[in-house]
Structure 1
Amino acid sequence: MGLSNHHIVTRFFMNGFPILKQDPKLHIKKLQFDGVPVKQYQPREDHTKHQRGILFFHGGIGMCCSTDTYERVCRYLARESTSFVVSVAYRLAPEHPYPAQFEDCLKATIHLLKNAKEYGVDPDCILVGGDSSGATLAAAVCQELVKRTDLPKVRAQILLHPFLQAVDFNLPSYQQNAFVPVLSKRTLLELGLKYLGKDSSFVQAAMKGSHVPEDMKIKWKSWINPDHIPKRFKSRGYKPPPPTPFSPKVLEQCKECFETTFSPLLAEDDIISQLPETYILTCEYDVLRDDGLLYKKRLEDAGVGVTWEHLEDAFHAIAFVLDMPVFPFSCAKRKMDRIVKFITGLHV
Structure 2
Amino acid sequence: MSVLWLVLLAGVSTFFLGVFVWAIIQHFLTVEIPSTLKHPAKLRFLHCMLLYLITLGNILEKLRICSIPRFLQFVQDLILIRKNSNVAVTDMHFGTVPVRLFKPKEASSKYRRDTYHGLGSFLAHETDSLVLLVGYRKLPDYHHPVPFKDCLNATIYFLKNLEILGVDPSRVVLCGDSLGGWAVATVTQVLTSMPNLPRIQTQVLIYPILHFINFQLPSYQQNKNVPFLTRDMLLMCVCKYLAIDLSWTDAMSTGAVIPLDKWKKYRKWLSYDNIPRRFWRQDTQPEVLGPFNEAAYLETKHVWNAEISPLLADDKIIAQLPKTFLVSCEHDVLRDDALLYKRRLEDQGIPVSWYHAEDGFHACINLFDKQPFSFPCSMKVTNAVARYIKDMC
TM-score in terms of structure 1 length: 0.90
Larger mean CA deviation between 7-16 and 311-320 belongs to: 7-16
Among candidates 78, 88, 111, match of residue 27 of structure 1: 88
Larger mean CA deviation between 116-125 and 1-10 belongs to: 1-10
TM-superposed CA distance for 1:247, in Å, is: 1.5
Does the alignment pair 1:111 with 2:179? no
Does the alignment pair 1:226 with 2:272? yes
Q: Deviations over 1:295-316 (max 9, x none)?
A: 0000000000100110000100
Among candidates 264, 267, 277, match of residue 323 of structure 2: 277
TM-superposed CA distance for 1:341, in Å, is: 1.3
TM-superposed CA distance for 1:96, in Å, is: 2.1
Does the alignment pair 1:238 with 2:300? no
TM-superposed CA distance for 1:13, in Å, is: 4.4
- Residue 6 of structure 1 aligns with an amino acid whose one-letter code is I
Matched residues, number: 326
Q: Rate the CA distance shift 1:250–1:169 in 2: closer, same or farther, 3 A.
A: same
Residue in structure 2 matched with residue 314 of structure 1 by the alignment: 360
Residue in structure 2 matched with residue 161 of structure 1 by the alignment: 207
The answer to whether the 8 A contact 1:143-1:271 is kept is yes
Distance 2:293 2:307 in 1: 23
Residue in structure 2 matched with residue 266 of structure 1 by the alignment: 312
Distance 2:216 2:144 in 1: 25
Larger mean CA deviation between 157-166 and 246-255 belongs to: 246-255
SS at match of 1:29: strand
- Residue 110 of structure 1 aligns with an amino acid whose one-letter code is I
TM-superposed CA distance for 1:16, in Å, is: 6.6
Larger mean CA deviation between 233-242 and 295-304 belongs to: 233-242
- Residue 114 of structure 1 aligns with an amino acid whose one-letter code is K
Distance 1:67 1:174 in 2: 32
TM-superposed CA distance for 1:135, in Å, is: 0.3
The answer to whether the 8 A contact 1:130-1:137 is kept is yes
TM-superposed CA distance for 1:14, in Å, is: 5.1
Residue in structure 1 matched with residue 257 of structure 2 by the alignment: 211
The answer to whether the 8 A contact 2:258-2:289 is kept is no
Among candidates 331, 350, 362, match of residue 304 of structure 1: 350
TM-superposed CA distance for 1:94, in Å, is: 3.3
Among candidates 249, 253, 260, match of residue 299 of structure 2: 253
Residue in structure 1 matched with residue 233 of structure 2 by the alignment: 187
Q: Rate the CA distance shift 1:81–1:318 in 2: closer, same or farther, 3 A.
A: same
TM-superposed CA distance for 1:82, in Å, is: 0.7
The runs of 5 or more residues in structure 2 that have no matched partner are 1-58, 107-111
SS at match of 2:85: coil
Larger mean CA deviation between 324-333 and 175-184 belongs to: 324-333
Distance 1:246 1:345 in 2: 48
- Residue 5 of structure 1 aligns with an amino acid whose one-letter code is S
Residue in structure 1 matched with residue 114 of structure 2 by the alignment: 68
TM-score in terms of structure 2 length: 0.80
Q: Deviations over 1:76-121 (max 9, x none)?
A: 1111011100000001133123101010101111111111011110
Q: Deviations over 1:15-69 (max 9, x none)?
A: 67341x4312111110111221001100127xxxxxxxxxxxxxxxxxxxx9701
Q: Deviations over 1:259-296 (max 9, x none)?
A: 22221101111101100000000000000000000000
Does the alignment pair 1:40 with 2:86? no
Among candidates 369, 375, 384, match of residue 323 of structure 1: 369
Residue in structure 2 matched with residue 57 of structure 1 by the alignment: none
Q: Which has a greater percent of strand?
A: 1
Distance 1:222 1:176 in 2: 22
Residue in structure 2 matched with residue 121 of structure 1 by the alignment: 167
Among candidates 62, 67, 70, match of residue 8 of structure 1: 70
- Residue 148 of structure 2 aligns with an amino acid whose one-letter code is F
Q: Rate the CA distance shift 1:75–1:267 in 2: closer, same or farther, 3 A.
A: same
Q: Which has a greater percent of helix?
A: 2
- Residue 288 of structure 2 aligns with an amino acid whose one-letter code is P
The answer to whether the 8 A contact 1:43-1:84 is kept is yes
Residue in structure 2 matched with residue 286 of structure 1 by the alignment: 332
RMSD: 1.6
The runs of 5 or more residues in structure 1 that have no matched partner are 46-65
- Residue 37 of structure 1 aligns with an amino acid whose one-letter code is P
Q: Deviations over 1:204-259 (max 9, x none)?
A: 01000111111110111111111111111113631114342222100111122222
TM-superposed CA distance for 1:8, in Å, is: 2.1
The answer to whether the 8 A contact 1:99-1:261 is kept is no
- Residue 100 of structure 1 aligns with an amino acid whose one-letter code is V
The answer to whether the 8 A contact 1:172-1:237 is kept is no
Residue in structure 1 matched with residue 79 of structure 2 by the alignment: 17
Q: Deviations over 1:171-211 (max 9, x none)?
A: 00000000111111011111111111120010001000111
Q: Deviations over 1:113-149 (max 9, x none)?
A: 1110111100111111101000000000000000001
Name the larger-Rg structure: 2
Residue in structure 1 matched with residue 25 of structure 2 by the alignment: none
Residue in structure 2 matched with residue 341 of structure 1 by the alignment: 387
SS at match of 2:171: strand
Distance 1:324 1:14 in 2: 13
Distance 1:116 1:16 in 2: 34
